[in-house]
Amino acid sequence: MIGIKNLLIHSLIFLTNSISLTPNLNKLSKYTGLSYKENNEITSLIDLPKHYGIKMFYDENENLIITCRGTTNFRDWVENFKFALIQHMDCDNGMIHRGYYNKLIRIISEKEFQKIHKFISAEENVFLCGHSSAAAKNILICHKLAKKHSNINFHVFAFGMPKFADSNYYRELKEFKNIKMLSFQLIDDIVPSLGIGVHDKENTIHLNVDKLNFNPFNAHKMSRYRSSIRRSKKGNLSIEQLYHSLNKTKTLD
């Protein structure tokens, strides 16, 4: 009887340790999609002006999530077309998209943005996700945060991101041991081929589709990224399992 009791206790301990409470890719793609809906179910911990499209919140497992909304209005389009690369002031040689960099400077200059540091400093891991132009802006935000919070692990998930930086920027970004990044591209989405610069091929994952879409606007929608991820067997893996799996193959089956 005692042997059975001990066996049950050890089994429970093993099961508890094997369950990861970090968000999976399905959930992160859901949060990214919700960023486009102004009156969604998410209440942000910080109150930045709405035109920035940034929210920070805790999920049901108390993971700290930062989402950034992609292009939705004229102001966003004007910013997108300022695509010439300029020197990143925090890099030795890295060059990045002028419009996105200027927006980064405005965001981090906001008094409300300073509150973000209080929440991040209490965490071990922080998860950032964004679609299209927002994916690029989230990488720039993550870079700033990782530099200030060197003891915190930052995980960036980019969906349908255009080119926005040169190889020198990505090379310098990899020097940060507290940043992990995955960039997802649908095989029929042309947006990742647009812009000036390069993609970090080492961290780029190609997503299959059930049917090719030849309308470039529809093909790029976040809802299609979400559908592709939901069909994948890897969509429900924990983030740790996903990293391990994608070290072996750069596709999401």
What domains can be seen in the chain, in order of their start residue?
23-252 (3.40.50.1820)
Closest to 69 (Cα-Cα) out of 47, 54, 49: 54
Cα–Cα distances in angstroms (integers) from residue 93 to residues 24, 99, 101, 150, 197, in the given order: 34, 18, 15, 21, 13
Q: Are 59 and 37 in contact (CB under 8 A)?
A: no
Condensed to tens digits (0 to 9), the pLDDT of residues 135-158 reads: 999 999 999 999 999 999 999 999
pLDDT at 18 over 70: no
Q: What is this structure's pTM? A: 0.89
Condensed to tens digits (0 to 9), the pLDDT of residues 163-200 reads: 999 999 999 999 999 999 999 999 999 999 999 999 99
| C-alpha span between 21 and 35 (Å, rounded) | 22
| C-alpha span between 69 and 52 (Å, rounded) | 8
